[in-house]
A and B are shown apart, each in its own frame.
Chain A
């Protein structure tokens, strides 16, 4: 059989579709090999990197990964900690030890630290094979959230929302004057003027809808300028470290000019 890639880079493929034939290609994430074919395992966008063919998901649940910074909601108070919902198939546990360096006496009312329904910014510190997840609040920028609002976007689109080195999110910050924290799990906290918040929400929804299309940064810059009248510079890297609030830029970005 001939060795060739049957689809173009950045093409959308459906599960079961043959991406390439021949043994000289390697199946990456989201693909599998059957005999001499590489087949898509998900609905997504193809990315060919040398000999490795991988598939970038465009939809799907958030998979918790070590060291991800996420925004979580307190859903239960346990004997020695809290159960947090992190917008994934599994909930996580925040233990007292990881929550605060304060001394908490035995039998104390834990809701005085985090009550049901509170939102916190935390980091995933352990994921087991059975998907038991531990999170921690110890680290720069990890804290309880007060005020502002929370929106949810698809977690697959978070790398695009953050942008390269946080360029996209700092552009939105610059234009709307909001404080913004983007969790890797797709929850975004924003706090600013009512108008600024509304514009920022619209901006994130727009990024989410157009995440798979190229030239997004420039388009967003123009859109933000039109909406707010604030001139934003898409190419400049963020000058000041933005309070260490965004998650780390994701290792894999969607293709397309950034």
Chain B
């Protein structure tokens, strides 16, 4: 069978409607919201700040800690078990690895930057939305970054390569999910995962389409960051 039309009527390379806002959590040093379709990520950044317990400190550089969390009522009605789990721990780790290449915390020895991402509503592509929100929040916190981080989930549904999968496509029995994080200006990849099976050609197509999609996401991020200091 062939996947001729997407379930929500989008084009195969079309992203869901996006919106972004920076500076939404007043107590945090930096914060941002990123929404793509029904997936919504809120991120708060604290720091650089003193790190305790002391044995976690690195005298050569500051470190980052990422906490990814899906809220219990997010998702598709079945309750998400609150608190950390195998999945959220893994995503926190891959997000840390995706964000670290753009950061340079050498000037902040022994300190920590804490990044908290909460997802009140999810419809697949959460780690990508979380990364988009996190990089905006880091920029808002005034932390030095080489580049922004943009991320999008690509994948295969039956015979078609699609961009920005929703939950029904993501959970399709004959398909694969391929989230990618890109640095929009240098084009470098900081996250690449795959769940499912694809051929080499299909993977190349995914990367190519993700690059195009990330350009659009970057524009949304850029506009939101600039909006923060717009003349009133």
Task: Report which A residues bind B (CB closer than 8 A).
Answer: 12, 14-18, 30, 32, 34, 39, 41-45, 57-61, 63, 89-91, 129-131, 156, 210, 212-213
B108 within 8 A of A: yes
Q: Beta-carbon contacts of B174-201 to A below 8 Å, as 1s and 0s?
A: 0000000001111000000000000000
**Chain B residue at smallest Cβ distance from A15:** B145
Q: A16-B148, A18-B185, A90-B111 are in contact. Are A42 and B143 (CB under 8 A)?
A: yes
Whether the pair B146, A32 counts as a contact (CB closer than 8 A) is yes
Q: Give the distance in Å from the alpha carbon of A129 to the alpha carbon of B110 in the complex.
A: 11
Partner of B184, one of A16, A32, A57, A58: A16
Task: Report which B residues bind A (CB closer than 8 A).
Answer: 29-30, 47-50, 59, 62, 102, 107-111, 139-148, 183-186, 221-222, 225-226, 228-229, 231-232
Q: In whole Å, how far is A16's beta carbon from the nearest beta carbon of chain B?
A: 3
**Chain B residue at smallest Cβ distance from A55:** B144
Interface residues of A: mostly helix, strand, loop or mixed? loop
The 11 listed contacts between A and B (C-beta, < 8 Å) are A15-B145, A16-B146, A16-B148, A39-B146, A39-B185, A42-B144, A44-B142, A90-B110, A129-B109, A131-B111, A213-B231
Whether the pair A43, B50 counts as a contact (CB closer than 8 A) is no
Q: Give the distance in Å from the alpha carbon of A156 to the alpha carbon of B142 in the complex.
A: 10
Partner of B232, one of A18, A59, A210: A210
Whether the pair B225, A43 counts as a contact (CB closer than 8 A) is yes
Q: Give the distance in Å from the alpha carbon of A85 to the alpha carbon of B94 in the complex.
A: 34
Q: Within 8 Å CB of B183, what residues of A?
A: 16
Interface centre among A14, A210, A212 (most CB of B within 10 A): A14
**Chain A residue at smallest Cβ distance from B135:** A15
Q: A15-B102, A16-B184, A17-B222 are in contact. Are A61 and B30 (CB under 8 A)?
A: no
Q: Within 8 Å CB of A45, what residues of B?
A: 229
**Chain A residue at smallest Cβ distance from B139:** A43
Q: Give the distance in Å from the alpha carbon of A129 to the alpha carbon of B185 in the complex.
A: 32
> Lowest 5 A-B CB distances belong to which pairs?
A60-B142, A16-B147, A15-B145, A59-B142, A89-B48
Interface centre among A32, A57, A58, A61 (most CB of B within 10 A): A61
Other CB < 8 Å A-B pairs besides A14-B225, A42-B139, A90-B111, 9 of them?
A14-B139, A15-B147, A16-B147, A16-B148, A17-B222, A18-B185, A41-B144, A43-B228, A59-B30
Interface centre among B185, B222, B226 (most CB of A within 10 A): B185
Q: Give the distance in Å from the alpha carbon of A59 to the alpha carbon of B107 in the complex.
A: 17
Whether the pair A60, B143 counts as a contact (CB closer than 8 A) is yes
Q: Give the distance in Å from the alpha carbon of A41 to the alpha carbon of B49 in the complex.
A: 20
Whether the pair B47, A61 counts as a contact (CB closer than 8 A) is yes
Whether the pair B108, A131 counts as a contact (CB closer than 8 A) is yes
Interface centre among B50, B142, B221 (most CB of A within 10 A): B142
Q: A57-B142, A130-B59 are in contact. Are A15 and B148 (CB under 8 A)?
A: yes
Q: Give the distance in Å from the alpha carbon of A210 to the alpha carbon of B110 in the complex.
A: 34
**Chain B residue at smallest Cβ distance from A43:** B139
